[in-house]
Amino acid sequence: MLNGDVMRYLIDAMIGGAEKAGTTSLGHYVTQHPRILSHFHVGDQRIYHSIEFPAFVSGSCKDPSQFERDFLKAFKGPPATDELVMAKSVGVLHRYQAAINLKDHNPECRLILMLRNPIDRAYSSFWYQLYRGEEIIQDFEKAVEIECSAKDPLKLPIDRRYLGKGLYFEQLNRLYTLFDPNQVFVLLLDDLKSKPNKAINEIFRFLGLEPVPVKTEVVVNRAKRVRSSLVARAIYKESFGKRITRILVPRVARIRLLGLMRQLNSVEESPPPMSTKMRSFLIDYFRPHNRKLQELLQRDLSQWNK
């Protein structure tokens, strides 16, 4: 669709949801459909490209020329007339401005939101932020204590709000003020794990697409730990060295180098079990929020209170 002298490409469907709730796996599954164009590019070496389309979180979507450049770079070209354009950005669930930006971009966009038991999500997110170098505290219970004791938790860095990101009822209610609930499909990670093909076919029908067979055997974005927290922070944090590297090293080579550094600095490994005491605390913390979410979604979430 033409917008002045700039070609405006629309995102038809957006995968969002809670961080560490299976959105990456879902994206790689549903984008196997021949009529879906996405930035996942199934088959690529995943460490070398982004699994997020950040235009709505960053706000670059407000500049038509910049959005077109971002779109063509991420999607590797314009869509065919019969293709549905699908992106992924978990931020549209817990970042209200990102959701507003998406609504302004395409009021008819359909959202697929993945949710996970907020206790397991919080614990997994903590280990993920350690892996990224964003978290400097090595103890989950201490990180939770800091969040709970903060006078204003919203002033904490958003990536370290382990409990706040699990308040799904509030986040969904905000989205429903922007988008018609009929445009929103909520999927639980439990359902994707137990009956992946059934869940994915339901999504295809929600998108108005014919179901097709997809391969769901491969799990992507597995849990990892870092060999060195210092190296992790050096990779992810802004620095003078990074600014110099941007000037001297071509973008593709830089992305490949950082990807290789992440790979060498990580080991696939599940986190140790959460303490019984902490799990009991979090069950009590999330129980009233889960109850409201259960009423909103009209489905049993009692398994989250265990």
Name the superfamily (CATH) of residues 2-126+167-219: P-loop containing nucleotide triphosphate hydrolases (3.40.50.300)
Q: What is the reported pLDDT for 192? A: 95
What are the extents of the domains in the chain?
Answer: 2-126+167-219
Q: What is the reported pLDDT for 41? A: 67
Print the SS3 string covering the chain. Answer: CEECCEECCCCCEEEEECCCCCHHHHHHHHCCCCCEEECCCCCCCHHHCCCCCCHHHHCHHHCHHHHHHHHHHHHCCCCCCCCEEEEECCHHHHCHHHHHHHHHHCCCCEEEEEECCHHHHHHHHHHHHHHHCCCCCCCHHHHHHHHHHCCCHHHCCHHHCCCHHHCHHHHHHHHHHHCCHHHEEEEEHHHHHHCHHHHHHHHHHHCCCCCCCCCCCCCCCCCEEECCHHHHHHHHCCCHHHHHHHHHCCHHHHHHHHHHHHHHCEEECCCCCCCHHHHHHHHHHHHHHHHHHHHHHCCCCHHHHC
Q: Give me the tens of pLDDT residue by residue for the chain, a chain 306 residues long.
A: 434 444 579 999 999 999 899 999 999 999 999 999 999 865 444 433 468 999 999 999 999 999 999 999 899 899 999 999 999 999 999 999 999 999 999 999 999 999 999 999 999 999 988 888 888 888 999 999 999 999 888 888 888 999 999 999 999 999 999 999 999 999 999 999 999 999 999 999 999 999 999 998 766 666 666 677 777 767 766 666 667 777 777 766 776 777 777 777 777 777 889 999 999 999 999 999 999 999 999 999 999 998
Q: What is the reported pLDDT for 48? A: 38
Judge if pTM exceeds 0.75.
Answer: yes
